[in-house]
Structure 1
């Protein structure tokens, strides 16, 4: 894992090369504690991936949302995040992003627009759908959640790039009522990979696009110094 902090510091990109969900979520928590270190406003973009993992929301019942025994028997991991929202499946075809900054600067609408802009850089026309979803061609490729602490605001989410959708259906328990409320009959009919729309897109491309959109959106006019890994 690489993490560079410089002084003075405004924008920081942190890229994890670990695939352990518990470690990656712990790093996210540590970044939330570091947004106002030494009186400076640090704005973090944290990019990370988990291998064969189901992450559930803060208040969810794991056994209601996930086939826990099957997941663990097949070498998968179960983790709980600090934000609300639904259960999600992570693998190495998915990229997770976390945007962390001081609470007073937290603006979900702005950070969501940043994600849309990054995806457009990849050649995919994307649109926000409500507060939590980002769609392309009418199907979801990004789910988002938010968390506030006394000092920090967090916006984190997924980018489905080349996720194994067979495993999504295999491990997640999605009720028929929830599917019907979305007007679909299966999880697969509701979601899409970015590679379905732009076959040449990969995780490295997505990381570069997110870093560029982050720098463009949040660079302060009085400081151009960034630390990008």
Structure 2
């Protein structure tokens, strides 16, 4: 038995919530397929540090969300030129290669020379068009992948560029790959055609007919189900996106001294300054402890304004310069 679903939403948090709802409610004997696509978004893996994967400050400036998914794996760029495909099924029969072969077969039927590597990525002429990740419980699993149809690869390269690196940091690190769009190999391929071809490949695999079509999931689905709304709201919060960040430590040089910050749960929990730190730097730097690191990485405007409003202009200037060095 199988079920096919397609989301009408372009919101990453809504789509992740729909995916999670299907994962938790579909029965183990049901093979599921879920098609979805998002507006411009960066999506990080469950165990990743967003500050080491993308330009957090640039994304915030451009009002592009960062989402943390439940599955592992690396960071990906989503936009309306990118199709997301999720397979659901019993853990006992779960097969990432098997699911990937369905997509590869669909692409090959369109005349695209797609092939799968040993990590279940999909390549076309040596360049990646799809990566994947999975999640599982005691009896059920999902495996999702992306497909670059006509994604904005320039923006992908621009935003998936972290401000700093930490070679010894905890967490999963993405493995950069050369990428390409499917339209570079079949210029007239539409999103509708791509979706329909994947649906039919899935249907053939599980014994359906060409009349089997996706059930459309729109805003009324979300409005009617509190579980979806609650989960969507939860994963859109900074407490999930940044608060689940693996702990890390940064050292920066500032005004002739070394400053070492420890970040845990997305919060600056400890700050150490070198012995040569000027008194004013020592005093102002202490204000960083207890702050969310994402606020500092995006300019720390509120804490600087707090100092300015208190009349501590000189300290505000030092603090602003310090935050800019992070």
Q: Give the TM-score category using the shorter length.
A: 0.7 to 0.9
State the Cα RMSD in Å: 2.2
- Whether the aligned pair in 1 keeps the contact of 2:96 and 2:120 (CA below 8 Å) is no
Question: Which residue of the partner structure matches residue 22 of structure 1?
Answer: 13
Structure 1 gap segments, 5+ residues each = 1-9
1:141-188 deviations in whole A, cap 9, x for unaligned? Answer: 01111211123111101000000011101110277x9xxxx8xxx86x
In 2, the alpha carbon distance for the partners of 1:217 and 1:51 equals: 30
Question: Which residue of the partner structure matches residue 122 of structure 2?
Answer: 134
**Offset, 1:50:** 1.0
Question: Which residue of the partner structure matches residue 4 of structure 1?
Answer: none
- The range that moved more, 15-24 or 124-133, is 124-133
Which TM-score applies when normalising by structure 1?
0.83
1:11 aligns with 2:2: yes
In 1, the alpha carbon distance for the partners of 2:104 and 2:125 equals: 13
- Structure 1 segment 171-186 matched on structure 2, within 5 A: 171-173=159-161
In 1, the alpha carbon distance for the partners of 2:214 and 2:46 equals: 30
Question: Which residue of the partner structure matches residue 6 of structure 1?
Answer: none
In 1, the alpha carbon distance for the partners of 2:17 and 2:40 equals: 18
In 1, the alpha carbon distance for the partners of 2:14 and 2:210 equals: 31
- Structure 1 segment 160-171 matched on structure 2, within 5 A: 160-171=148-159
**Offset, 1:228:** 2.9
Question: Which residue of the partner structure matches residue 69 of structure 1?
Answer: 57
- Whether the aligned pair in 2 keeps the contact of 1:57 and 1:82 (CA below 8 Å) is yes
1:111-136 deviations in whole A, cap 9, x for unaligned? Answer: 11111001112210111112231101
1:109 aligns with 2:97: yes
Question: Which residue of the partner structure matches residue 7 of structure 1?
Answer: none
Question: Which residue of the partner structure matches residue 195 of structure 1?
Answer: 183
Tell me the secondary structure at the aligned position of residue 33 of structure 1. helix
Q: How many residues align?
A: 205
Which of structure 1's runs of 4+ aligned residues deviate more than 2 A?
223-229
- Whether the aligned pair in 2 keeps the contact of 1:132 and 1:145 (CA below 8 Å) is no
More helix, by proportion:
2
1:161-216 deviations in whole A, cap 9, x for unaligned? Answer: 000011101110277x9xxxx8xxx86xx110000000011211110011001001
Which TM-score applies when normalising by structure 2?
0.59
- Could you say which structure has the greater relative contact order, defined with CA pairs below 8 angstroms and 6 or more residues apart? 1
Question: Which residue of the partner structure matches residue 311 of structure 2?
Answer: none
Change (3 A) 1:224 1:15: closer
Question: Which residue of the partner structure matches residue 26 of structure 2?
Answer: 35
Structure 2 gap segments, 5+ residues each = 168-174, 216-326
- Whether the aligned pair in 2 keeps the contact of 1:122 and 1:205 (CA below 8 Å) is no
- Structure 1 segment 67-106 matched on structure 2, within 5 A: 67-106=55-94
Tell me the secondary structure at the aligned position of residue 128 of structure 2. strand
